[in-house]
Amino acid sequence: MAQKGYVEIAIEVCKGCNLCVIHCPTECLALNTSDTNSYGLHYSTLAKPEDCIGCANCAVMCPDAAITVYREKKEKRPNPRKGGNSG
């Protein structure tokens, strides 16, 4: 199963260039066309939070460094080869 993640977008920093939206592999980001920030620009939002995998492609592409990315911590599974009693 794919990992889960989420992003936080600084609305006032975002300029609505759409580069994060077109490069999101799961298409979970979208430009909010019904609202603007104080500069009068549409801003990007996490439209489908359940689809985000925390790959940070949006953050790499964002020219204005408006995106912060978080990803679910990996659970450390016990290594079956090193387990003493299982064999």
Query: With respect to another protein, which residue has the nearer C-beta, 47 or 55?
Result: 55
- Given phi > 0 = left and psi -120 to 50 = alpha, else beta, which region is 54? left
Binding site for another protein (CB under 8 A): 5-6, 10, 12-13, 15-19, 22-23, 41, 54, 56-57, 59-73
Cβ neighbours, 10 Å, residue 82: 7
Q: Which amino acid is at 79?
A: N
Query: With respect to another protein, which residue has the nearer C-beta, 73 or 82?
Result: 73
Q: Across-strand partners of 45?
A: 30
Query: With respect to another protein, which residue has the nearer C-beta, 65 or 80?
Result: 65
Beta carbon of residue 78, minimum distance to another protein (angstroms, whole number): 19
53 neighbors 2 (Cβ within 8 angstroms): yes
Beta carbon of residue 39, minimum distance to another protein (angstroms, whole number): 8
